[in-house]
Chain A
Amino acid sequence: MAVEFDESEIEYVSYGGEHHLPLIMNLVDQELSEPYSIFTYRYFVYLWPNLSFLAFHKGKCVGTVVCKMGDHRHTFRGYIAMLVVLNSYRGRGIATELVSRSIKVMMRSGCEEVTLEAEVTNKGALALYGRLGFIRAKRLFRYYLNGVDAFRLKLLFPRPEPNYSDSVRSTLDEGVEHGDELNTP
């Protein structure tokens, strides 16, 4: 059931410390299929607190995004690990706003591209990322524990300098599928 609210009532905040962690964990546990241990959450929010955002409605945490960035085979790339909005708050642009905030930080920090995985059945997420300019670069066979395939989505930022061939080369060097990505052991 959708909640009645005005978009202006949603407050977006960057990850602010330990008190935000249980809020993020609860949301993800509630809405995503993959189980994550506390270490996974800590790994992200401690190393890249500036890439994680939370959305609040009247004091209640209704959405969150958790990301990282780093070198991946000669490319500096951002990675969106988790994006969750409470079911009753969906369809109002909260997820788009959350993920856009992270992407902007990544872009400013010099990322060349952003990647993530999404279940092939998750039409909502695929449409959202499609609107933001992500392409479905690969399909990953039975990627999730539940046996569902995933899409690897990618967003390439425009290159400011004309030396285009270099950027092409760097994105091509990726070889290992599951190198340092969110992959289940």
Chain B
Amino acid sequence: MAEAEGEGDVQVPISSSIPSGNDTVWFDVSSLLHRACHDLRTDELISGENFNLFAAMSALEIMDPKMDSGIVSTYYSVDEAIENGAAPIPLSFDRTSDIQHIIDIMDHFLACEATWHKGGSLAQTMFSCIYLLRPERTSSHALLHSFCIVIRATCNALVSAVSVSRTNEEEDLFTMAYGLPLKANGDEKCLSLLHAVEETLCRQLKACKAPLSKRTALEDIEPLQTNLDLEEGFCKAVLCRLRFRKHFYHVLTSLRKPQGKGLELAKKHIISCLSELDSMLKSEDFLRNNSVCGTSENEEEKTTASGCQPVGFDSTLNSRSAAPTPPRAIKLLSWNKAVNYFQKLLHDLDVISSYSLDPVFEGALRFVVDVQKIQPDLVARAHIQLLLVQDGKLYGREPLFAVICKASLLPEGAKNHDIQKNESVQQLGQLLITLFRVLCANTAWQRRKLGKILQDWRIIYVQLELAFRKEFGDAASTSVEQNSLLKICKHILIWVEEQTYWIALRFLTLGFELELYSTSEYCMVYWYIYVVLIKLAEKTHLKMMLSNDSSRRKSKKKKDFVKDIGKDYQVPPAVQLLQCYIYVAQGLMMMLASLRNENKIFLCMGPFNSEQERFVQHFELLQKACLPDHASYFSFSETVSNTRLSTLSMHNCFKDAQRIAKELRGSFANDPDRLAELRQIEQVAEHNYVALNLLCRMGNLEPSLKISFEFIHHPHFATAAVKRS
């Protein structure tokens, strides 16, 4: 292409930074571009091959309020904002109003912080504060300065916690801090600065509360502000806000102590935080009644206790410098919602801090699953993960191979075996870490990831099998060595299978929590849960028998052999619990199948595909990993095609589940969570048994009966509700 010559060409110096090469020559195409532009009308689009949907979606229409958060800001730079008096220091020469403004800033920060945690960008929330953007400016104002420093230190600590625990796309926005002054000189001294300011405030509060007679002695103390009638109220309002920051910062640093050593301390600071939040709520009336801004904002919108707009914040300031694309407009949470958010966060962190650091793998798994039930947000979830996995060890102290040995019910000595150096065994350890990470993610992402890692667990099983075989041939020379290696292999392989089915079960049950299944799909989902549970129970049982076997063999040598054989074998409670689930899942599957077969309800029908396609889509990841072998749409439809409401075994399912749940209470007497779970299962079984009997007696006769399945007793096992419509 020749260089275009046109009228009015602007001579642009050609960049020499990338030199012309053998195949490339630089041309100035500005004039060509210029002419091409004349041919295009507004809104027209030249669609190149690489102009994909993402590119189309990335285009913003400037000045469209739904898209453009406002590139044209009030100020073009932070400096300009400061020059125009947007962030004065002091905030007012009237000291009372200065304090009021500062309290507003503190409150607005809380609203910003909660919005940030909930998915807003750092630049548009915390760093919309001009004071925070220019750390050196506040140094003359001890109160504001110390507060800004602790805010910055807190942001920094949280960004670090969430980045270290990287689990998924969620944290990308959270940790994005392009060029923001997240750290400034002297931030490490934030607590001592805060402490000094707090001391002064305490003395000021004490002075104003002292009876007049004693005041002379305290006269050298300058009050916080000039209106002495309001002194106590303002002192208290500032103090609780300051103390909240201090304790919250302590909570974060305690939680990060290695090996969970700071959990006790974190709990103490959490209690203090919650109490300071209460004091903040109590100060609301005082601040509102004495506010200077007159018109108080709508309760749902206001970001400060006083209802006044804070001084020194401008969310448009960072819009040009902070992100690769212009940020969309965001809405801040209200101050009250922010307080509620922090209360919830602190309760979640308290649950995490109360954890006993169970050295047994299953215990740790159950802990994460249980914490996820209270729906913790990103910050809390990041901290669960930081606690669980540190330096590639469980809680930073239990080497993964030792954890695996214990989980596989191997004897204590196995954890020192050389097999741990094997590459596949080490990969298994990595899979464990990944599993923990995934379990700490939001449940939507967690389920997708669990589906994908199933394949990895299948592969590692095969790899381990090969590796063990090779080790067996290579190393073991004596029969004692061979036996110990064989034992380790057997145990670990069974445990890997058990774990794989556990993941499959979690994948399936999370679908209920995420509302991925429609009622017409419940039948196939419960069928799949049923077949997976059977395998899980089988593997768990096998693992336990294997360990009993070896311990019994040892005892046999010493004790009477005959006695042992005569004893009735007891199925371990963990397996019985699974058996109980199996019955409930089977009962539900059969009940739904009968309703489909007899009443023609809950059928999967559509104009474009059949139930088989739905089955394939829902379970494709399980099918791909052959979990379990031979589970297919055909085995499902065969199982359910002939079920009738009168099928006796279905009634027995719910009865048996009830019975086992009752019997198991004794086995889990010391575990309140399990007892609650048993109670739930019992209720599901009981109600479904009643519903089933009702349906049997009148189901076909009464078309007015309406049947629905609800999750009122258990999050995964539905309860049938039969109502007259």
Contacts and interface: CB of A to CB of B under 8 A. Distances in A.
B569 interface: no
Contacts of A169: 624
Given A140-B444, A158-B610, A151 B516 contact: yes
B51 interface: yes
B715 to A, nearest CB: 15
Contacts of B337: none
B367 interface: no
A125 interface: no
Given A100-B607, A132-B606, A138 B57 contact: no
B580 to A, nearest CB: 28
Contacts of A103: 608
Contact of B56 (A37, A100, A175): A37
A168 B624 contact: yes
B448 interface: yes
Given A37-B56, A43-B56, A141-B444, A135 B521 contact: yes
A107 B607 CA distance: 12
Interface in A129-185: 130-142, 145, 147, 149, 151, 154-158, 167-169, 171-172, 175, 177, 180-185
A177 B448 contact: yes
A100 B59 CA distance: 30
Contacts of B61: 35, 37-38
A120 B4 CA distance: 54
A172 B328 CA distance: 34
A68 interface: yes
A156 B444 contact: no
B17 interface: no
A168 B47 contact: no
A133 B515 contact: no
B521 A141 contact: no
Given A133-B614, A135-B617, A158-B609, A185 B54 contact: yes
B245 to A, nearest CB: 27
B623 interface: yes
A40 B609 contact: no
Contact of A141 (B442, B517, B614): B442
A37 B616 contact: no
Contact of A136 (B45, B328, B516, B520): B516
Contacts of B55: 39
B515 A136 contact: yes
A139 B57 contact: no
Interface string B589-618: 000000000000000111111101110111
A97 to B, nearest CB: 11
B616 A40 contact: no
B59 A39 contact: yes
A73 interface: no
A132 B61 CA distance: 35
B447 interface: yes
A183 to B, nearest CB: 7
Interface string B442-464: 11110110001000000000000
A139 B514 contact: yes
B53 interface: yes
B47 A47 contact: yes
Contact of A135 (B53, B64, B618): B618
Interface string B506-539: 0000000011111011000000000000000000
B60 interface: yes
Interface in B311-352: 325, 328
A137 B516 contact: yes
Residue with the greatest number of chain A CB neighbours at <10 A, chosen from B520, B605, B610, B614 = B614
Interface residues of A, number: 50
A74 interface: no
Contacts of A20: none
A5 interface: no
B442 A156 contact: no
A138 B444 contact: yes
Interface string B429-452: 000000000000011110110001
B559 interface: no
A131 B67 contact: no
A180 B53 contact: yes
A35 B515 contact: no
A138 B53 contact: no
B621 interface: yes
Contacts of A42: 43, 45, 47, 56
A12 to B, nearest CB: 16
A46 to B, nearest CB: 7
A134 B617 CA distance: 10
B52 interface: yes
B613 A156 contact: yes
Nearest to A100: B607
Given A147-B119, A158-B610, A182 B616 contact: no
B617 A137 contact: yes
A43 B51 contact: yes
B416 interface: no
A183 B609 CA distance: 27
B170 interface: yes
Contact of B67 (A35, A134, A141): A35
Nearest to B45: A42
Contacts of B358: none
A177 B607 CA distance: 27
Nearest to A36: B57
A129 to B, nearest CB: 9
B620 interface: yes
A141 B47 contact: no
Contacts of B557: none
Interface string B12-45: 0000000000000000000000000000000101
Interface in B341-376: none
A131 B606 contact: yes
Given A180-B52, A182-B57, A133 B620 contact: no
B56 A139 contact: no
Interface string A62-95: 0000001000000000000000000000000000
Contacts of A182: 53, 57
B517 A136 contact: yes
Residue with the greatest number of chain A CB neighbours at <10 A, chosen from B53, B606, B607 = B53
Given A40-B56, A47-B47, A135-B521, A185 B613 contact: no
A46 B51 CA distance: 13
Contacts of A138: 444, 447-448, 516
A79 to B, nearest CB: 9
Contacts of A149: 444
A99 to B, nearest CB: 11
A180 B45 CA distance: 19
A139 B447 contact: yes
Contact of B60 (A37, A133, A141, A177): A37
A168 B616 contact: yes
B57 A183 contact: yes
B608 A133 contact: yes
Nearest to B66: A35
Contacts of A175: 452
B213 interface: no
A112 B172 CA distance: 33
B608 A38 contact: no
B515 A43 contact: no
20 contacts: A35-B64, A37-B59, A42-B56, A47-B47, A133-B606, A136-B518, A137-B618, A138-B447, A138-B448, A141-B445, A154-B617, A155-B613, A157-B608, A158-B610, A168-B616, A171-B617, A172-B620, A175-B452, A181-B53, A184-B57
The 8 closest A-B pairs by CB, nearest first: A133-B606, A35-B66, A43-B56, A139-B444, A156-B613, A185-B58, A141-B444, A139-B514
Interface of A: 35-40, 42-43, 46-47, 68, 100, 103, 107, 120, 130-142, 145, 147, 149, 151, 154-158, 167-169, 171-172, 175, 177, 180-185
Given A130-B520, A154-B617, A172-B620, 8 more contacts: A40-B56, A47-B47, A133-B608, A133-B609, A155-B606, A168-B616, A177-B448, A180-B53
